[in-house]
A and B are shown apart, each in its own frame.
Chain A
Amino acid sequence: AQSVTQLDSQVPVFEEAPVELRCNYSSSVSVYLFWYVQYPNQGLQLLLKYLSGSTLVKGINGFEAEFNKSQTSFHLRKPSVHISDTAEYFCAVSEDGGFKTIFGAGTRLFVKA
């Protein structure tokens, strides 16, 4: 069965510093990978997705993620964060041919001035 593990529940970081939010998944078949962001009292918004092709995926708001099949990871990175990036970030996986998405527990990114 597919599963998603987000290795950090909270990540505090200073403004303009780089950040990496870690995500590992397990699945026996081909997968599609996603990162979503959730701001307070709002639904989720897609940051980026990996379906196939280049393993480095660029998303909105300056975020990018790299798919590493051998390590079954899909870490999210941003070279310089802003206060406005403070939110909860979810990694998610859908199996090829499946009809459900499994989400990780979320990582709360807190950007400090």
Chain B
Amino acid sequence: KAGVTQTPRYLIKTRGQQVTLSCSPISGHRSVSWYQQTPGQGLQFLFEYFSETQRNKGNFPGRFSGRQFSNSRSEMNVSTLELGDSALYLCASSQAGLVDIQYFGAGTRLSVL
């Protein structure tokens, strides 16, 4: 069974641009969560989707948004990029929710110049 796939692996953008990150969960998994990882703040929860519905979100500004498609694939969008958005963005999938085991992708490393 294929694991969680995140694309692209690396991304370089400039301030003010927007970016879309993609996450393909493990087949059969309906829950997808997104996290931002930085050296200073550690791993911070962005949001969780289940069956195309956002069930919870972390404390991030509205520039961070996401969605989930009917095939459970998820995208995360960041608009008006700031230097502080440079981070490793991790996606995790599970069968039904967060008490299930979460399987993480390798992440997308975003650098904002």
Contact = CB atoms under 8 A, between A and B. Distances in A.
A45 B44 CA distance: 16
A17 interface: no
Smallest CB-CB A-B distances: 5 pairs:
A43-B104, A103-B43, A99-B56, A99-B55, A44-B104
A38 B97 CA distance: 21
Main secondary structure of the interface of B (DSSP, over half): strand
Interface string A20-46: 000000000000100010000111111
B81 interface: no
Interface centre among B35, B42, B56, B58 (most CB of A within 10 A): B42
Given A98-B56, A99-B48, A100-B48, 17 more contacts: A41-B106, A44-B43, A44-B90, A46-B101, A46-B103, A51-B99, A90-B43, A94-B99, A96-B99, A99-B50, A99-B55, A99-B97, A101-B33, A101-B45, A101-B98, A103-B35, A106-B42
Contacts of A104: 42
A4 B105 CA distance: 23
A57 interface: no
Contact of A43 (B58, B97, B101, B106): B106
A98 B57 CA distance: 11
Contacts of B104: 36, 43-45
Interface of A: 32, 36, 41-46, 49, 51, 90, 94, 96, 98-106
28 contacts: A36-B104, A43-B90, A43-B92, A43-B104, A43-B107, A44-B43, A44-B102, A46-B102, A49-B101, A94-B98, A94-B99, A98-B56, A99-B48, A99-B50, A99-B55, A99-B98, A100-B45, A100-B48, A100-B56, A100-B57, A101-B45, A101-B98, A102-B45, A103-B42, A103-B45, A104-B42, A105-B42, A106-B43
A105 B44 CA distance: 9
Interface size class of B (residues with CB under 8 A): 20 to 34
Contacts of B48: 99-100
